[in-house]
Chain A
Amino acid sequence: MAATINFTSPTKTQSSRFFFPDLLGKNTTPTLSFYPIPKSSFLLPSISLRPASKSDVVIKRRHLSVVVSALKNLSHAELVPVPSESDAIPGTFPSISGVYAVYDGNEDLQFLGISRNIAASVVAHKKSVPELCSSIKFGVVDDPDRAALTQAWKSWMEEHISATGKVPPGNEPGNSTWVRQPPKKKPDLKLTPGRHVKLTVPLEDLIDRLVKENKVVAFIKGSRSAPLCGFSQRVVGILESEGVEYESVDVLDEQYNSGLRETLKKYSNWPTFPQIFVNGELIGGCDILSSMYEKGELKDLLKK
């Protein structure tokens, strides 16, 4: 059943990406391969996995006492216009989990979805398909468990199908207008063509070029899709939640990044991993990145 949230296993479907311009000739632009996008049946709504912010939690508590009754029928739920300013959306819709129905300007149902944060999902839809996103019905599901959400979604879907005889266009198989695609993770960069190939350039120079030619580079333990250390995992999580384009290099990859750990420690004068570089400069490890992220400083740094 679970196809829309798809943590595809890494490596096999990825093409290799090397950072070794001299030996690869014209193939210096890394090729990106995308994961095959699984076909989701219409029975599979997507869940928005945005973490709830502090204000969401407050709203949630307030709502808990209110929303004790069972989910309303789709036909009984109130049709709420989507504010034109996206800033106003979180004040109009709750930032908690539930089922929601998106209607176009003719009040035709376009899409039924479930979300862990209804307001955030509406913001995202409004942004990606404003023309189809005129008003919303929502039903809060108190128990954010996926089964409970799916149940709520099914009941609305069944109601709609029995009333109209059709599936909302956005929920038809193959329609990807509304469903957020699984994140397309880039493969990690490889510094050398392999441990048995003699380098024509010192590894240190390769590191230097890599961090200077790419805005954000994270040297991590393990791959970005499967970090092998909690700190590296945190770094990947932070960079991804900032939505920043970054390159990752696996310092444990003995085949393609042999000798990297020791060389990088010297290059950056930093004894531990992960290490994050922005605009060619070491900004630190997991602690510093976390601290900057929590203070909101990271956003500013990444904008530069």
Chain B
Amino acid sequence: MASRGLLSRASRIKSKLQSALEATVVEVEDVSYQHAGHVAVKDSGANETHFNVKIISDKFDGQNLVKRHRMVYDLLSDELQSGLHAISIKANTPKEAGLSN
């Protein structure tokens, strides 16, 4: 993938989620620094390992939380295989988030 290395993981995550989920809102926050001493990360010297992701998308409508999280994980499987360690996911529909359509 040519884009890897040029863009930050955060922006890759954002664009993947944005386009696939036609999301109204995608917020991606790199919180890897909070986990710098984390067992699994400590020795590898890896960065861009932990992210908070907030997504608002109509595509979550009618899906339970497990399904919503799986949708996100599926879209990010490349990232998860290349050093992304954990994502904290908030997945809501516009209605749940109090946004009018």
Could you tell me if B40 and A229 are in contact, using CB atoms closer than 8 angstroms?
yes
- Which chain B residues numbered 25 to 41 have a C-beta less than 8 Å away from chain A? 35, 38-40
Q: How many chain B residues touch A (Cβ–Cβ < 8 Å)?
A: 17
Size category, A interface: 20 to 34
Q: How far is the CB of B8 from chain A (nearest CB, A)?
A: 20
Could you tell me if B35 and A288 are in contact, using CB atoms closer than 8 angstroms?
no
Stretch of A49-57, A140-148, A266-274 that contacts chain B: A266-274
Whether B20 sits at the interface, judged by CB under 8 Å, is: no
Could you tell me if B38 and A284 are in contact, using CB atoms closer than 8 angstroms?
no
**Total A-B pairs in contact (CB under 8 Å)?**
42
Given contacts A221-B39, A229-B39, contact A287 B90 (CB under 8 A): yes
Q: How far is the CB of B96 from chain A (nearest CB, A)?
A: 11
Whether A94 sits at the interface, judged by CB under 8 Å, is: no
- Residue in A closest to B89 when the chains form the complex, CB atoms: A287
Per DSSP, chain B at the interface is helix
Whether A252 sits at the interface, judged by CB under 8 Å, is: yes
CA gap between A270 and B77 in the complex, in Å: 10
Whether A228 sits at the interface, judged by CB under 8 Å, is: yes
A287 contact set on B, CB distance < 8 A: 65, 69, 88-90
Given contacts A229-B40, A272-B86, contact A285 B35 (CB under 8 A): no
Could you tell me if B39 and A288 are in contact, using CB atoms closer than 8 angstroms?
no
The interface bits of chain A over 205-244 (1 if a CB of B lies within 8 angstroms of the residue's CB, else 0) are 0000000000000000110000011110000000000000
Report which B residues bind A (CB closer than 8 A).
35, 38-40, 65-66, 69-70, 73, 77, 80, 85-90
